[in-house]
Chain A
C-alpha cells in the first residue's frame, strides 16, 4: 500500500486536470491576447477561472494570475508597498512562509519598519502582541490563513477587526496557499485586501498561482512588459496551467472527510504512542486545520522516521518542503519556543480529500512500529 501524507508540499494532479491541460495544450494553445475567435475562447476560459476564484472567496475584486504562491505573496507585499510611496510599518506573523518572510526582510533591509508578530506555544498568533505592534501608520499586515507546518488556523476576523480599529487603511494580505478550498475564507466580509493561492496544493498543476485583490487596492507591477493582467503582471499567461487550475477548483470536493481522517490519524496514533507530542493546537480544536497534523516522536529524529516510512511506501514531510534540503530547524517551531529535540523529531502529516481509513490505519501501524524499533537508540 502506498500512502502519500505530504499533501501540504504538493498534491497529485487530478486525472481530470491532466486531461484538461492536455486538451488545452493541443487544442487551445492560442495567445489569449490575440483577436481571432479561438484566442477569445482561451480568454473566456481565463475569465471563468477568475470568476471561480472570486466565487470561492465569495468576493468581487481582481484575480491576477502568477507563476506560484510565492510570486503571489511577493506581488502582494512588494507591489503594495512600492505603490504606497510611504514608509509605514509592515507586520507579519513569525510563522509565515519564506515567500513572505524574505519579501519583508528585503523591505526591512531597504529601510522599512518591519515587525514580526510572535507565535504562542500552540502556534497561534499572539493577539496581545499583535495589538501592541499595530500602529496608526501600519501600511501592511501579512498573515497566513493556515500555517503550512503546524496547520494553525489564523483568526483573520479578529486580525481584520483590530486593523479596522487602529489603521483602517492598512493592507491586509492573507497567504491562502494552504487554506484555499480547504477552509472557508470570505475575503470581502473579512476585510482582506489580497489573498494568495497556488494550484498544486489542491490537485492542480505546478507553475500556476493567483493573487486575488480587493477593489480598494492599487498595486505596482513587479514584472513589466506587455501589460497582461491589467499591467500588474506582464507576460503571456500560462493558459494550460490556468485551465488545469480552473478544473481543479471546479472538481475539488469541498465537503469531504479530511477532518475525520486527520482525527482518526491523531487518535489512533495517541492510542499506540501515548507519549506522542503535538506541535500546534489541539488537533480536535477548530484552530487546527483539517488536513495538517504535526507531531514529534523524540528521540526518533524526523529524518530517520521519514526514511523508514518511505521504505514502507508512506511519504511524510519534515516541515516545509521548500526548506527541507537545508539543514536548519523549522522557524515556525522555533517561534513557538519548541525544545530542540522536539523540533529535531517533528514530522508533518498532511492529507487530501481522497485519503482512506485503510491508508490512515496503515500509516499509524508503520509509524508506531518504527517508533518502537528505533526509540531505544538514543545518543548517549
Chain B
C-alpha cells in the first residue's frame, strides 16, 4: 500500500498519434515543478503517478500550477487482488465522515473478476455496515469514494482541479510586454496556459519609477514563472526615449509614439529569444492607446503577430482572473509604472497612422534610441 498523487490530463487525450509527445512533455513539466520534492514521477496507463513524496501538500500545490494538468487525486495504491483489503482501506478512508456517500468504480482492467457495479455494491456495503454515520445517497452525495482498478487498485476521495491547458513548450514561445499593472500578467498567463513558453519585457523609467516598482515587476514575473517554468525577463531602460518623445513630439501623440517604441523594442528582443509572437494586456477602449485605431497604429511597427487575450474583457473580469491566478495583490501595489509617467492630458484616441508617423519624425535618432535601450537592457533569469 502506498500513498501517491494520481494526476489526470485533459486536452492531451484529444491528441492523435502525437499524444506521446504531449504526455512526455507534461511529465517533464511536472518533474520540473516538483524539483526537489520527489524524483519518482512516472507515466503509466494514461495517468501520471507521483510517489515517495517528502511533503505531499507541497507536491499537490506545485502540480496544481502545471499547465496540462486536469486534476490531481491524493490516492492510496494497493494490490487489487486482495479485495478484502481494498474494502477495509475504503472503510478507513471514510472513517470519521458522516452524511450521504456514493461509491464510483472504474475498471480499466477489464479482466478483473468483479465488474464496476459489483465493486460499487461490495465496497458500499462494507463501508455502510461499519460506519453508522454514513448513508447511501446516489443522487447528491456529500462524499464520493472512488476506486479505480488498473494494474493496481487506487482509492481516493478528494479531487483537486489543475489549471487545464497544454504543457508549456508544446506550442512554441512568445514574448510578453509586462507592465506591472493588472492586465499584462493575466494576458501572459492565458497564452502560457495554451502551452506557450514565455519571455517578458518590462520598460522602466528611472528615476520616475524606482526600486520598488522594479521589485513589483520581479514579483509578478516570479508569480508567472510558478506556472510557466523558466522565464527570462528583460528590463529595458526607457527614460531617455520618453524624454525625447516628451520634448520633441506633439503632446497628444506622445502615448501612442511611446507604445510604438515599446513594440519595436519588444520585437527585437522577441526575435532574439526566438519568440513567434508578442503578447500584451490590452483591452479595447480601456485607455486612449487601446482604441482600435490606436492598436492598429502600434501593430503597424511590428511584423510578429500580437496576441491580446484580454482584448474583449471588461476590467472587472480581468481583475477577477488576476485574483484567481494570484497576481492581483502584487499588481495593485501603488508604485508608478512608466506608462503613466508622462500621460498627456488629452491623448489622441482616433489617430491616423500617417499623422503618427509624421509626429514621430520630430525624433531624428529613433533607431539609435531603440538600439541603445536594447543594448542596455538587463536580463533576469527566473
Q: Which residues of A contact B (CB under 8 A)?
A: 301, 303-308, 310-311, 325-327, 370, 374, 376-377, 379-380
| Residues in B30-51 with C-beta less than 8 Å from chain A | none
CB pair B334 A326 closer than 8 Å: yes
Judging by beta carbons under 8 Å apart, are B344 and A307 in contact?
no
Q: Which residues of B contact A310 (CB under 8 A)?
A: 210-211
CA distance A144 to B163 in the complex (A): 54
The total of interchain contacts (Cβ-Cβ below 8 angstroms) comes to: 44
Q: How far is the CB of A49 from chain B (nearest CB, A)?
A: 36
**Whole-angstrom distance between the alpha carbons of A376 and B242 in the complex?**
13
Find out whether the CB atom of A307 lies under 8 angstroms from the CB atom of B342: no
Q: Mark B235-257, 1 if CB is under 8 A from A, else 0.
A: 00000000100110001001000
* B273 CB within 8 Å of chain A: no
- In chain B, positions 336-364 with a C-beta closer than 8 Å to chain A are 336, 342-345
List CB contacts (< 8 Å) of B260-292 with chain A: none
Give the top 4 A-B pairs by smallest Cβ distance, nearest first: A327-B334, A307-B207, A308-B207, A307-B210
- The interface residues of chain A lying within 8 Å CB-to-CB of B251 are 380
Alpha-carbon distance between A307 and B213 when the two chains are bound, in angstroms: 11
> How far apart are B349's CB and chain A's nearest CB, in angstroms?
16
Do A303 and B342 contact each other (CB < 8 Å), given the known contacts A308-B207, A310-B211, A311-B207?
no
Residue picked from B210, B212, B251, B342, most chain A C-beta under 10 Å: B210
**Chain A residues positioned under 8 Å from B208 (CB to CB):** 301, 303-304, 307
Closest to B252 in A: A380
Which of A301, A307, A370 has most B Cβ within 10 Å? A307
B345 and A379 contact, CB distance less than 8 A: yes
* Contact of A379 with B210 in the complex, beta carbons under 8 Å: no
In the assembled complex, the Cα of A304 lies from the Cα of B210 at a distance in Å of 8
Of the candidates A310, A376, A377, the one having the most CB atoms from chain B within 10 angstroms of its own CB is: A377
Does B56 belong to the interface (CB within 8 Å)? no
- Chain A residues closer than 8 Å to B207, beta-carbon distance: 304-308, 311, 370, 374
**Complex: how many Å from CA A308 to CA B209?**
9
Main secondary structure of the interface of B (DSSP, over half): loop
With A303-B208, A307-B207, A307-B211: A379-B343 Cβ-Cβ less than 8 Å = yes
Q: Say yes or no: is B206 at the interface (Cβ < 8 Å to chain A).
A: yes
26 A-B residue pairs with Cβ-Cβ distance under 8 Å, sorted by A, are A301-B208, A303-B208, A303-B335, A303-B336, A304-B208, A305-B207, A307-B207, A307-B209, A307-B210, A307-B211, A308-B206, A308-B207, A311-B206, A311-B207, A325-B212, A325-B334, A326-B334, A327-B335, A370-B207, A377-B243, A377-B342, A379-B342, A379-B343, A379-B345, A380-B246, A380-B251
User: In the complex, what distance in Å separates the CA atom of A379 from the CA atom of B243?
Assistant: 11
> Using an 8 Å CB-CB cutoff, how does the interface string of B301-329 with A read, 1 for contact, 0 for none?
00000000000000000000000000000
**Which B residues touch A370, using CB under 8 A?**
207
How far, in Å, is B352 (CB) from chain A's closest CB?
21
Residues of chain B within 8 A of A325, CB atoms compared: 212, 333-334
B209 touching A379 by the CB < 8 A rule? no
- The listed residue (B210, B211, B335, B344) touching A380 by CB distance below 8 A is B344
CA distance A303 to B345 in the complex (A): 20
> Which of B208, B246, B254 counts the most A-chain CB atoms under 10 A from its CB?
B208
Q: What's the nearest-Cβ distance from chain B to residue A254, in Å? A: 36
Interface centre among A310, A376, A379 (most CB of B within 10 A): A379
By beta carbon, the residue of chain B nearest A309 is B207
Q: Smallest Cβ distance from A313 to chain B, in angstroms?
A: 13
Report the minimal beta-carbon distance from B21 to chain A, rounded to whole angstroms: 47
Docked complex Cα distance between A305 and B209 (Å): 10
* Contacting pair B343 A303 (CB below 8 A): no
Q: Which residues of A contact B343 (CB under 8 A)?
A: 379
CB distance B344 to A303 under 8 Å? no
Q: How far is the CA of A285 from the CA of B251 in the complex (A)?
A: 44
CA distance A345 to B22 in the complex (A): 55
How distant is the Cα of A380 from the Cα of B343 in the complex, in angstroms? 8
Residues of B within 8 A of A304 (CB): 207-208
A374 to nearest B CB, angstroms? 8
- B-chain residues with CB within 8 Å of residue A327 when the two chains form the complex: 334-335
Give the chain B neighbours of A301 by CB distance below 8 A.
208
Q: How far is the CA of A374 from the CA of B209 in the complex (A)?
A: 13
Task: Say how far B362's CB is from chain A's closest CB, in angstroms.
Answer: 14
